[in-house]
A and B are shown apart, each in its own frame.
Chain A
Amino acid sequence: MKLGSALLAAHLWLVLAFLYVPIVVMAVFGFNASPLYALPFQFDLVWYRELAGNTKLIDAGIHSVGIAIVNTIIATALGTMAALAFARYQFRGKTVLQLLLFPPVAVPWLVIGTAMLVFFYWIDIKRGLFAILLGHVALSLPYVIVVVGARLATFPRAVEEAAATLGATPWQTFRRVTAPLLAPGVIGGALFAFAVSFDQFVISYFLAPPGVTTLPVEIYGAIRKGFTPEINAISTIIILVSMGALLLTARFYRFGGER
C-alpha cells in the first residue's frame, strides 16, 4: 500500500513536471540578459523593455485582445440565445441542428480554415480583422451553446413558475431568478469563447492579410525569422492572462451552483 501511494505521488509529480517545466524554463529565460539563451542566468528586464518598444507585437496583441473581446460578446449572446431555444422550444430540425453543433469542434481547424478562406473569397469578404472575427465567432459558438446548454439541462423550471405565482412579471422572473441561476453557465461559456479566440492560430493565419496579424500569428512569424527572448516575455504575459481566465472559470463554475 505504502509503496503504491508513493509511486502514485511520484507519477503525479512527473506529469506535473512534464507539463510545467518547459513553461517555467521559458518564463525564466524571459528574464535572462543573454539574447542567445546563454547561461549563466543573469536577471534583466531588457526583453520586457524591448517588448514595450516592439510596435508590431503590441499591435498584434491589441488586435488579439480586441477580437477576443468582441468575439466573446457576440458568441456569448448568440450562443446563450441558441441554448435557450434548444432547451425551451420544440421546432422542426432541432435534432439535426443540435447534431450539427459538434463537427466544428471535431473537424481539424486547418480544414475549417481552408474552407472559410475559400468561402469568404467566394462571397467576397476580404481577408482582414472582420473576416477573422467572423471565423472566431463561428468556431466559439458551439462551445458556448454546449456550456450554457449543460447549465440549462439541470435548470429547475419550477422555480420560474414559482416566481410567477408569487407575482413576478416575466421580466422580473428573468432578472431575479432565471439570469442569476444561469449566470455561471454564461460566464463559463464566455471564458471559453475568449480562450478559443485568443489562442486561435490556424484560422487567423489563413484569414489575416499581409501586415495585419494577431498575436499567435505574429509570434509564429517571429519564430521563423529567428527570435529573441522578447517572445518569452510576451508568452509569459499570455500564460498569466490565460491562467487567470482559467482560474476565473473554475471559480464561476462553482459560484451559485452546486455548493
Chain B
Amino acid sequence: MSTVAVTDAVKKYDAVAALDGVTMTFRDGEFFGLLGPSGSGKTTLLRAIAGFVTLDRGQVLIDGQDVGGVPVHARNIGMVFQNYALFPHMSVAENVAFGLEVRGRPREDVAQSVKDALAMVRLGGLEQRKPKQLSGGQQQRVALARALVTRPKVLLLDEPLGALDKHLRQEMQVELRRIQRQVGITTIFVTHDQEEALTLSDRIAIFDSGRIIQEGAPMAVYERPVTRFAAGFLGEANFLPGRVTAMETGGLARVALDIGGEALCGLSSGQVGQTVLLALRPEKITLAADGRAGVNAVRGKVLDVVFSGNSTTYRIAVGEQVMVLFRQNLAQGTVAPGTDVVLSWSPDHLVQVTP
C-alpha cells in the first residue's frame, strides 16, 4: 500500500530542537513504534507526518512524494488521538461516516462502509449511541473504525492506549494488532510505554532529544542496545564500567570490572587499556548461594528482595555498586537479605554501550 519516509527532519521551538535531523523509512504495511520520553520528538514527528507541524528543514515523503505543501485534509491519513477526539455531538455511526461524507461518497456506500468498519472493531449494534455513552475501550474502537473507514494510506496512533486501564490495554493491544494485520496498513504509533512498543511493533525507534538513538526489530534493540540511554529506556539494565586488560583470540576481550572481578566478552570497539561500559539485563544473571567468583562471576550480598508472584527482584551489593536481578520463581522460596551470593552470566549477555 504505502511507504512513508522522513529525510533530515528539523523542527525547532524557540531554541529547543524537537526534531534534530531525523531520517527514517517506514515500510509498507509495517507496524512501527516511536518510543521515547516525553519531549523527545516522537510526537512532533508523528504530527509532522500528519501535517500539523511544518518542518523547518527536511521532507516527509508518502509513497515517494513530498507532502510538504499538502494540507492535513488532503494527505489521506488516518489518525487516532490520545483521548480519541470523537465528535461528541454525533452518534457512533455519524462519527465513522464523517470521513466518507466529507469526501462526498454516495449515501448507500457510506452506510455499507460504516457497517463493515464497525463490524471489524466488533461494535455492531452500538451505531446510535453517543460517544459519552461508551466505555473507554469502545470509544477507542470507534476512533479506530473512523480512522480506517476512509482506507487511508497511513495510520497514525498517538499514545492510543494511554487512557485505558492495564487490563483493557492488553486486550486492545491484541485487537489493534489483529486489525492492523487484517487491513495491512502502514502504521506508525507513538508511545512512552516500552512494553507496548515491544508487544505491538515490527520495528521500533528510540528517540531522545529530537534524535533517533537506535532503530530495529524490538528483540534486536532490546538484546543489543547501542547506548546507555537505549538500554535503560527499553527495559532495565545494570551498567558495569571497566577497563580492557587483554584481547583474547576469537575476538573476546578481558575487562577488569570496577566492581571487582573480571569479565570476558565481545566488544564492538576497544583496545587494551581503554575504559568501556557494559550493559547487563537483570534477567540474564544467575544467582547462586555458593560457588567461585571468577570470570563473569562476582560475589555479592543480598540487600533486599521483592517477591512479585511470577518473579522475584533482588538488589545485591557488589563492590561499590548495587546490581539488580530478576529471577523466575521456578522453585519455592527466595534468598534472604544478608546472604552472600555469587552472580554469574554468559559472555553473550554483556553488551558494550556508549555512555
> How far is it, in angstroms, between the C-alpha of A156 and the C-alpha of B156 when the chains are bound?
19
Q: How many residues of B contact A (CB 8 A)?
A: 29
Q: In the complex, A177→B81 CA distance in Å?
A: 16
A181 contacts B89, CB within 8 Å?
yes
Q: Which of A163, A170, A259 contacts B132 (CB 8 A)?
A: A259
Q: Does B85 contact A (CB under 8 A)?
A: yes
A138 near B: Cβ within 8 Å?
no
- Choice from B72, B77, B86 contacting A159 with Cβ under 8 Å: B86
Check if B87 is an interface residue, CB within 8 A of chain A. Answer: yes
Within B177-196, the residues touching A (CB, 8 Å) are none
Are the CB atoms of A158 and B89 closer together than 8 Å?
Answer: no
Query: A176 contacts the other chain (Cβ, under 8 Å)?
Result: yes
Picked from B51, B82, B132, B150, the residue with its CB within 8 Å of the CB of A166 is B150
Is A167 within 8 A of B81, CB to CB? no
Q: With an 8 A cutoff between CB atoms, is B88 at the interface?
A: yes
Q: Shortest Cβ distance from B132 into chain A, in angstroms?
A: 7
What is the CA–CA distance of A168 and B51 in the complex, to the nearest angstrom? 13
Which residues in chain B, 54-78, are within 8 Å of chain A measured between CB atoms? Answer: 71-78
Q: Which parts of A168-211 form the interface with B (CB within 8 Å)?
A: 168-170, 172-173, 176-177, 180-181
Asked whether B85 lies within 8 Å of A159 as measured between CB atoms, the reply is: yes
- Taking a contact as CB atoms closer than 8 A, the residue among B72, B88, B103, B132 that contacts A165 in the complex is B72
Q: How far is the CA of A166 from the CA of B99 in the complex (A)?
A: 5
Of A156, A166, A259, the contact of B146 (CB 8 Å cutoff) = A166
| A159 CB contacts on chain B under 8 angstroms | 85-88
**Is B85 a contact of A168 with CB atoms below 8 Å?**
no
Q: Is A50 on the interface with B (CB-CB < 8 A)?
A: no
Q: How far is the CA of A181 from the CA of B88 in the complex (A)?
A: 8
Residues of A within 8 A of B82 (CB): 158
Shortest CB–CB separation between residue A185 and chain B, in angstroms?
13
Across the interface, which residues of A come within 8 angstroms of B102, CB to CB? 163, 166-169, 172, 176
A164 and B72 in contact, given A169-B102, A176-B102 (Cβ under 8 angstroms): yes
Q: A256 at interface (Cβ–Cβ under 8 A)?
A: yes
Contact of B78 among A165, A176, A259 (CB under 8 A): A165
Structural contact, B73 and A162, CB atoms closer than 8 A: no
CA distance A12 to B302 in the complex (A): 71
A residues near B88, Cβ cutoff 8 Å: 156, 159, 181, 256
Return chain A residues, CB-CB under 8 Å to B144. none
**How long is the Cα–Cα vector from A164 to B147 in the complex, in angstroms?**
11
B79 within 8 A of A: yes
Main secondary structure of the interface of A (DSSP, over half): helix
For A170, what are the chain B residues with a Cβ–Cβ distance below 8 Å? 73
* Residue B83 is within 8 A (CB to CB) of chain A in the complex: yes
CA distance A173 to B98 in the complex (A): 10
Contact B81 A168 (CB under 8 A): no
Q: Give A46-78 as 1s and 0s: 1 = Cβ < 8 Å from B's Cβ atoms.
A: 000000000000000000000000000000000
Q: Is the CB of A168 within 8 A of B73?
A: yes
Q: Are A156 and B85 in contact (CB under 8 A)?
A: yes
Q: How far is the CA of A94 from the CA of B83 in the complex (A)?
A: 30
B50 in the interface (beta carbon within 8 A):
yes
Shortest beta-carbon distance from B251 to chain A in Å:
50
Q: Across the interface, which residues of B come within 8 angstroms of A44, CB to CB?
A: none
Which of A162, A173, A177 sits near B79, CB closer than 8 Å?
A162
CB A164 to nearest CB in B, in angstroms, measures 4
B149, closest chain A residue (CB): A166
Bound CA–CA A177/B98 (angstroms): 10
* A169-B102, A172-B102, A181-B88 as given contacts; A162 in contact with B132, CB under 8 Å: no
The yes or no answer to B52 lying at the interface (CB within 8 A) is yes
Contact B86 A165 (CB under 8 A): no
CB distance from A128 to the nearest CB of B (A): 43
Using known A-B contacts A168-B102, A176-B98, determine if residue A161 contacts B150 with beta carbons closer than 8 Å. Answer: no
Given A176-B98, A259-B132: A167 and B73 within 8 A (CB)?
yes
Measured CA separation A181–B87 after assembly (Å) = 9
CB pair A180 B81 closer than 8 Å: no
A256 to B88: give the CA distance in the assembly, Å: 8
A181 CB contacts on chain B under 8 angstroms: 88-89
Closest to B82 in A: A158
Report how far A173 CA is from B82 CA in the complex, Å.
Answer: 20
Q: Which residues of A lie under 8 Å from residue B75 when comparing CB positions?
A: 165
Structural contact, A166 and B81, CB atoms closer than 8 A: no
Residue among A164, A176, A256 facing the most chain B CB atoms (10 A cut-off): A164
Min CB–CB distance A206 → chain B (angstroms)? 43
Residues of A within 8 A of B86 (CB): 159, 162
**Chain A: residues with CB nearer than 8 A to chain B?**
156, 158-159, 161-170, 172-173, 176-177, 180-181, 256, 259
Q: A165-B147, A166-B102 are in contact. List 6 more A-B contacts (CB 8 A).
A: A158-B82, A163-B102, A164-B51, A165-B75, A172-B102, A176-B102
24 contacts between A and B (CB under 8 A): A156-B83, A158-B81, A158-B82, A159-B86, A159-B87, A161-B79, A161-B85, A162-B79, A162-B86, A162-B87, A163-B98, A164-B72, A164-B73, A165-B50, A165-B79, A167-B73, A167-B74, A167-B99, A167-B103, A167-B150, A169-B102, A170-B73, A172-B102, A181-B89
